[in-house]
A and B are shown apart, each in its own frame.
Chain A
Amino acid sequence: MAHTVIATIREPLVEGHKSYHQITEDICSPTERAPGPLWIFGFILSITTLGFGLACIFLTIWNGIGEWNLNRTIGWGWDITNFVWWIGIGHAGTLISAILLLFRQKWRTGVNRAAEAMTIFAVMCAGLFPVIHMGRVWLAIFIFPYPNTRGPLWVNFNSPLLWDVFAISTYFTVSLLFWYTGLVPDLATVRDRAKGLRKKIYSFVSFGWTGSAKHWQRWESLSLVLAGLSTPLVLSVHTIVSFDFATSVIPGWHTTIFPPYFVAGAVFSGFAMVLTLMLITRKIFNLQEYITIAHIESMNKIILLTGSIVGVAYLTELFIAWYSGYVYEQFAFYNRALGPYWWAYFGMMTCNVISPQFFWSKKLRRNITFTFFLSIFINVGMWFERFVIIVISLHRDYLPSSWSYYTPTWVEMGIYIGTFGLFFTLFLIFARVAPVIAIAEIKHILKTAGDQYTGPNATHHDNDHH
């Protein structure tokens, strides 16, 4: 057995002197009892919002993109802003489940399941926008390379927009496989506790899992390789999304700094969303002993790091615009800060650069209320960032006669609100039917990183189980 020496100052990742059975009980029980009033309220709200969003999508498809306020100058507005924002949100899930697995960060076990679910739902929300922004959605199949009736005319494999199609569909598929394979043993746990029809359903979805030693060995091998594949994958996804802009010649877009800057921003916003969700989930499902203050602090440290990277990227952009001596680039940045959209730039700078710096304070990192509000701030800020990059760069470029201004219609806003409905509807269903915390993985770390640590440096605990 590998001996990990745990520093005595490191906090346990599972609290409350849990026995294995208690862990099963705590995490499975929310799926077994009738939903509480808070859940029902949340679900009705989400599904109503989703319905409203669907109505707005219907209007867009029925009447065409004219339902939106895009014009000849500003061809991308809320649609692509929302797309990039949602894709970014998804990145935290993969970072937690894949990169932190490779780095052997045990605190990931408390949050990885929910974060991966969040990834999948966020990518679903994101994928909606490129499809509906095409206008004639029934022609969306044209983005796939297949022998077709247009003569043997293929898609442009050299276009970043097509790379996006491949990147996002791969990302979604791999995330889904990774997540579900991790879920199978836990679904088997729910199956073995269930009776009647529930047992039948969970039998079907748990794939006949028995917990055989060989299966576990292969399962771990699979998880490790999938993590190894997902790590460059998640970096590639936002890199490719940033290519949509960086390979163009629009001032403010034509930037080599975009790939790392986008990836850092994605992780930044993703962690903020994980925190927003998990702070609510741990409270509602009473999981404070599994998602501890130590988990929250770790995530806040990542927010501080990535937030600072994003801040440096903003300042680098400003410096390079000035240093390049290129008037169009200089104007683009002058216009961002002092043009008609100054409020978006101001919002972005405040929320993304200044607000995460509060997390240098340990006290604030461990303050749940503060973390919750800051996580929402960051999500707002990151939305502004995408809006700033997309709309501000487009609205005033080379030809002053074509300068324009853009405000969304209620339909555009409605679709965005609708994606929240979709996201929360899916998340609430997930939290009802599947264990929101990876049960097997928590049991696995209980004695190596939990409060029942038995390895070197272990101190005596008054174990009150049995």
Chain B
Amino acid sequence: MSTEKEVLFGLYNDETELMKAITVARESHLDIMDVYTPFPVHGLDDVMGLSESRLHIAGFVFGALGTLTALGVMSWVFTRDWPIIFGGKPYFSLPAFIPITFELTVLFASIGMVVTFYTICGLGPGVENPILDDRITDDKFCLAFDTNGLDEAAVGNLKGFFQDTAAAEVHLKTI
């Protein structure tokens, strides 16, 4: 957000029109900046050629960290730091450690994934990202191109594309 950006975007009334437009744009090798929708449109990532999210890997790593933390701390406390016999069971009584190990696995995985999600998306409390149009979170489906450094012919070409793909509105905005 340090430099100003010029964005040309079209608003579509329906997700199927948007998907068709994206297919056309990709076929004609137009460089899509981003697509904004009011709800998760299924199949959109395929049409746009987005690679699968790797967020779940973060979940696994944080979960494994939770498992190790819980098991490690409990084992250390009960066998090294302050061994106490409870109910005649051995110091290292693994079955009794399972509930807490499970809970911490879930806790670490969840917190870790959520924090990762907001970090990589650049979202967070008080963050203000430029909004192209207020109706994108309502009922408009937006396809945006970065027009920085494009000559008039190229911009005209993009406008023609929006006309061909039946965009309901086309706007140019500096963000």
Q: Which residues of A contact B (CB under 8 A)?
A: 1-2, 19-21, 24, 145, 152-154, 156-160, 162-163, 166-167, 169-170, 173-174, 177-178, 181, 184-185, 188-189, 191-193, 203-205, 207-222, 225-226, 229-230, 232-233, 236, 240, 243, 439-441, 443-444
- Cβ of A245 to closest chain B Cβ, rounded Å: 15
Contact of B131 among A153, A210, A222 (CB under 8 A): A210
Contacts of A221 in B (CB 8 A): 53, 55-56
Task: Count residues of chain B with CB under 8 A from any CB of chain A.
Answer: 65
Check B99–A163 contact: CB distance below 8 A.
Answer: yes
Give Cα A208–Cα B97 distance, bound, in whole angstroms. Answer: 41
Minimum CB distance partner of B74 in chain A: A157
Contact of A166 among B103, B122, B135 (CB under 8 A): B103
Check A213–B36 contact: CB distance below 8 A.
Answer: yes
Check A1–B50 contact: CB distance below 8 A.
Answer: no
What string of 1s and 0s marks CB contacts (under 8 Å) between B124-147 and chain A? 111111110011111100100000
> A157-B96, A170-B107, A218-B121 are contacts. A211–B37 as well, Cβ < 8 Å?
yes
> A153-B82, A211-B36 are contacts. A166–B99 as well, Cβ < 8 Å?
yes
Minimum CB distance partner of B98 in chain A: A163
Give Cα A169–Cα B111 distance, bound, in whole angstroms. Answer: 13
> A162-B100, A207-B125, A208-B123 are contacts. A193–B138 as well, Cβ < 8 Å?
yes
Q: Which of B23-31, B40-48, B149-157, B158-166 contacts A (4 or more CB under 8 A)?
A: B40-48
B65 within 8 Å of A by Cβ? no
Give Cα A219–Cα B38 distance, bound, in whole angstroms. Answer: 13
> A158-B86, A210-B36 are contacts. A166–B55 as well, Cβ < 8 Å?
no
Minimum CB distance partner of B93 in chain A: A158
Give Cα A211–Cα B133 distance, bound, in whole angstroms. Answer: 11
> A185-B137, A192-B137, A211-B136 are contacts. A440–B38 as well, Cβ < 8 Å?
yes
- Cβ of B12 to closest chain A Cβ, rounded Å: 12
> A154-B77, A157-B74 are contacts. A218–B138 as well, Cβ < 8 Å?
no
Contact of A157 among B100, B122, B129 (CB under 8 A): B100
> A212-B35, A219-B117 are contacts. A174–B137 as well, Cβ < 8 Å?
no
Contacts of B39 in A (CB 8 A): 185, 216, 439-441, 443-444
Contacts of A184 in B (CB 8 A): 123
Check A217–B93 contact: CB distance below 8 A.
Answer: no
Q: Can you list 19 A-B pairs, Cβ within 8 angstroms, ordered by A?
A: A1-B43, A20-B138, A145-B73, A158-B93, A166-B103, A170-B106, A189-B38, A208-B124, A210-B129, A212-B35, A216-B37, A217-B44, A222-B114, A226-B113, A226-B114, A229-B63, A440-B40, A443-B38, A444-B40
Give Cα A209–Cα B117 distance, bound, in whole angstroms. Answer: 12
Minimum CB distance partner of B134 in chain A: A192
B169 within 8 Å of A by Cβ? no
Check A204–B99 contact: CB distance below 8 A.
Answer: no
Q: Which residues of B contact A (CB under 8 A)?
A: 34-45, 48, 50, 53, 55-56, 59, 63, 73-74, 77-78, 81-82, 84, 86-87, 89, 93, 96-97, 99-100, 102-104, 106-107, 109-111, 113-114, 117-118, 120-131, 134-139, 142
Contacts of A178 in B (CB 8 A): 110
Give Cα A152–Cα B77 distance, bound, in whole angstroms. Answer: 9
Q: A216-B39, A218-B55 are in contact. List 14 more A-B contacts (CB 8 A).
A: A24-B138, A145-B77, A158-B93, A159-B86, A177-B114, A207-B124, A208-B122, A208-B127, A209-B123, A217-B40, A218-B120, A220-B40, A221-B56, A444-B40
- Cβ of B127 to closest chain A Cβ, rounded Å: 3
Check A222–B96 contact: CB distance below 8 A.
Answer: no
Check B99–A19 contact: CB distance below 8 A.
Answer: no
- Cβ of B173 to closest chain A Cβ, rounded Å: 13
- Cβ of A368 to closest chain B Cβ, rounded Å: 29
Check B109–A157 contact: CB distance below 8 A.
Answer: no
Check A2–B99 contact: CB distance below 8 A.
Answer: no
Check A20–B110 contact: CB distance below 8 A.
Answer: no
- Cβ of A226 to closest chain B Cβ, rounded Å: 6
> A152-B82, A157-B78, A192-B137 are contacts. A236–B38 as well, Cβ < 8 Å?
no
Check A213–B77 contact: CB distance below 8 A.
Answer: no
> A158-B93, A208-B127 are contacts. A24–B139 as well, Cβ < 8 Å?
yes
Give Cα A166–Cα B98 distance, bound, in whole angstroms. Answer: 12
Give Cα A424–Cα B29 distance, bound, in whole angstroms. Answer: 55
Give Cα A208–Cα B118 distance, bound, in whole angstroms. Answer: 10
Contact of A218 among B74, B77, B117 (CB under 8 A): B117
